[in-house]
Amino acid sequence: MRSEDEAGHVVSGAVAAGRGIGAGPERGSLRIWGFAFGYFAAYVPYTLLTKAVSSGGGGVTQVSGTAILPLATMTSVVGMVAFISLMRWWGYAAHVRLFGVRVPRPRLVTLMSGIATAAILLTTTLAYTFDGISVLFAMLLMRGGVLLLAPEVDQLNGRPFSTIPWWSWAGSGLALMALLVAFSEDGGAALTLVAAIDIAIYLVAYFFRLSWMSQKAKTSGREARIAFFVEEQMVATPVALVGLAVFASLGESRFASELAWGFSAIWAYPETFILVMVIGLCSQLTGVFGGLILLEPAENAYTVPVNRASSILAGVVSSYLALPFFDGEAPSLYELLGAGVVVVAIVVLSYPVLAARRRPAPAPERRDR
């Protein structure tokens, strides 16, 4: 049997031929912006369809956001397996032999990171269900908190503050400013003890996830990044699904009852069933592209704002697209100002890419005949 490291970095023929996370300059590559566009492109239909189902728009049977989660997460599990299989990335994962068959498995660090990712998924949902705290204020605390964590994670994992370039600091600051501007309308929301614990778990989970990515994958080469991605993904959504099942079995609370309905009764509504499956697939794609952004070898102070900026812009776009269909409210002046700051942040974060493209290519070496 192969050793763990050897088995974890086997390259399939398709990836060896150039498929997968490509090589290129760490900060000058356009790859991260391709991932950011994929995240944006998946997030817009995800939010639109979620709005349609949760509001009953277009004649669809109305289902609460909580009740959507079980089927959406089941579909995400299927989408995860399909995506990794399509990319032929299973060969990168560590393997173990069971009854003579090589089966992919997570290593300890990716198992823990996958559990942290599942905790992020579940605590995000829970944060939007608490009484006394608005969705926007919870979002500010969670997204803004991660933006503040990014430079700290860099320092603790071998990237001193002095080595983080100005554009990463500026991008982090602008992205955080955008959140503060967009959500300043709800700054007076009350924060309960339970909600504070939930958001604290979210931030702690993100801290450890970013740390493990930095230690084991971000600067360890393409094969290590793909291996980390595959092993983390094969843990995260299955663990999240198990977590939802546990919550559904706990007591008679409204949250538990809605989850139980999502597990047992949503199947009786075909149109809603299909839409929720699409929601799950789009959700999985946001997880795929979001994870690939965070695994880029550049510092977290660069990759985290790129990730967060994509979601903010997608949220603004989906808000306008929802207006003619779901009687939604147009983004407020604060939200539009926040989106404008995000555009500035994207321009700043694009600096290394633009600078790299302007540099002349090195002259080829002359060979004596």
pLDDT (tens digit per residue) in 61-114 = 788 878 888 999 999 999 999 999 999 999 999 999 988 889 999 999 999 999
138-167: average pLDDT = 77
**pLDDT score, position 108:** 95
**pLDDT higher than threshold 90 for residue 173:** no
Inter-axis angle of helices 31-55 and 65-87, nearest 10: 150
Cα–Cα nearest to 129, from 252, 256, 277, 264: 256
4-18: average pLDDT = 36
What is the tens place of the pLDDT at every residue in 194-235?
Answer: 788 888 999 999 999 999 998 888 878 889 999 999 999 999
Q: 0.85 cut: is pTM over it?
A: no
**pLDDT score, position 189:** 54
**pLDDT score, position 204:** 94
The contacts of residue 232 (CB under 8 Å, 6+ apart) are 106, 110, 113, 114, 117, 291
**pLDDT score, position 3:** 40
**pLDDT higher than threshold 50 for residue 369:** no
**Alpha-carbon distance 185 to 334, whole Å?**
7
What is the tens place of the pLDDT at every residue in 265-281?
Answer: 988 888 889 999 999 99
**pLDDT score, position 360:** 61
**Alpha-carbon distance 169 to 174, whole Å?**
9
